[in-house]
Structure 1
Amino acid sequence: MKITEKTKSYSAYLNGSTYLGTAAIELPNLESLSEVIKGAGIAGEINSPTIGHFGSLGMTINWRTVDPSAIRLAEPQLHAIDFRIASQTLDSANGQYSTDSTKISVRAMPNGLTLGNLETATQTGTSNTFEVNYIKIVINGKVVLELDKLNSIYIVNGTDYLAAERAALGK
């Protein structure tokens, strides 16, 4: 059995090739829009998710200083950002370690820039916040998740859960 243990290293790139620098990333949380369903035939309430529809997808990039990349990412335009990740994996059957490759691609619009604090011999706490409208996760060359809010695409492990919705709407 393969056990993914940890992120060994990662890097961030703008538009696929411009290295962004050293930063800590807070990736978005995917939380379905939902509605409480209750009534005849239901013993209580059900918080029913709307398949493929999600609330706001916030993302934060935390910098150690007022970095030029932080200023560039504050430009009011959609940014294509890739996070390339090397994960340490243990094969429990043979005790061998290997490295898995993950790529997370987002398209995000900036909605905040925190410049942080200035104090001698400390980090500033500079950060960018974004609204993500597209995210794609590829692990070892296989697309495992793709969400495109603007084009009604929600694919998980090869199944497009919004294909029928697009067809019903003539998209």
Structure 2
Amino acid sequence: MALPKKLKLMNLFNEGNSYLGETGEVTLPKLGRKFEKWRGGGMNGAVDVDFGLDDAITEMSWKLGGIDPLVIRQFGVTSVSGIGLRFAGSYQRDDTGETSAVEVVVRGRHQEIDFGNAKSGDDTEMTIKTIWSYYKLTIDGNVEVEIDIPNLVEKVNGEDLLKAHRKNIGL
């Protein structure tokens, strides 16, 4: 029997600024694809045709204790890749003690900053929703997934899934 690797420690960086001790929670981006059913003439059933990335995957939300002027100053950034966030997590198996480094890097902009409830004497926490245009997942130094939407790059396990398409359209 083996035990899974579980998140033991984490940190979040905003433009290189560490939120160690301030980050309450990070909801990492989902990976998803957009499929549409196709049933052509002579087909006895439908197949799902892959139309690329799902439109709903580009969200990363995260929470900070208190209030942070840096995040507020970033509200309204106009570039789709104007803000860089980096999640660094240390996962560990409790049966072997083996650890893994997991890093998620995104570039995007904040869609929403929720200041939560303000009540004297109660915990305060702000929630930020960042919409990304660039995403990279690295596990133990290996880049597993890299997506750069504006530059038409999508790599999984080192394979560039859009290389032929870029060539076909003259890029």
> Shared topology, TM-score over 0.5?
yes
Number of residue-to-residue matches in the alignment: 165
Runs of 4 or more off by more than 4 Å in structure 1? none
Distance 1:24 1:109 in 2: 18
Instruction: Give the C-alpha shift of residue 137 in structure 1.
Output: 1.0
Q: Residue 73 of structure 1 contacts residue 128 of structure 1 at CA under 8 Å; is this kept in 2?
A: no
Q: What residue number does 1:18 align with? A: 17
Instruction: Give the C-alpha shift of residue 14 in structure 1.
Output: 2.2
The root-mean-square deviation of aligned C-alpha atoms, in Å, is 2.1
Equivalent positions of 1:4-153 (< 5 A) are 4-15=4-15, 17-20=16-19, 21-51=22-52, 53-56=53-56, 57-77=58-78, 78-89=82-93, 95-153=95-153
Q: TM-score, structure 2 length as denominator?
A: 0.84
Cα offsets for 1:62-117 (capped at 9, x unmatched): 22322334324435251111111111035xxxx52122111111001111111111
Distance 2:68 2:155 in 1: 35
Structure 1 residues without counterparts, runs of 5 or longer: none
**Percent of pairs with identical residues:** 24
Letter of the aligned partner of 1:89 in structure 2?
R
Q: Residue 86 of structure 2 contacts residue 104 of structure 2 at CA under 8 Å; is this kept in 1?
A: yes
Of 154-163 and 67-76, the range deviating more from structure 2: 67-76
Q: 1:46 to 1:141 in 2, by over 3 A?
A: same
Instruction: Give the C-alpha shift of residue 162 in structure 1.
Output: 0.7
Q: Residue 23 of structure 2 contacts residue 62 of structure 2 at CA under 8 Å; is this kept in 1?
A: no
Letter of the aligned partner of 1:162 in structure 2?
L
Q: Residue 70 of structure 1 contacts residue 127 of structure 1 at CA under 8 Å; is this kept in 2?
A: no
Q: TM-score, structure 1 length as denominator?
A: 0.84
Greater strand fraction, Structure 1 or Structure 2? 1
Distance 2:2 2:51 in 1: 33
Q: Residue 144 of structure 2 contacts residue 158 of structure 2 at CA under 8 Å; is this kept in 1?
A: yes
Letter of the aligned partner of 1:54 in structure 2?
D
Instruction: Give the C-alpha shift of residue 133 in structure 1.
Output: 0.8
Structure 2 residues without counterparts, runs of 5 or longer: none
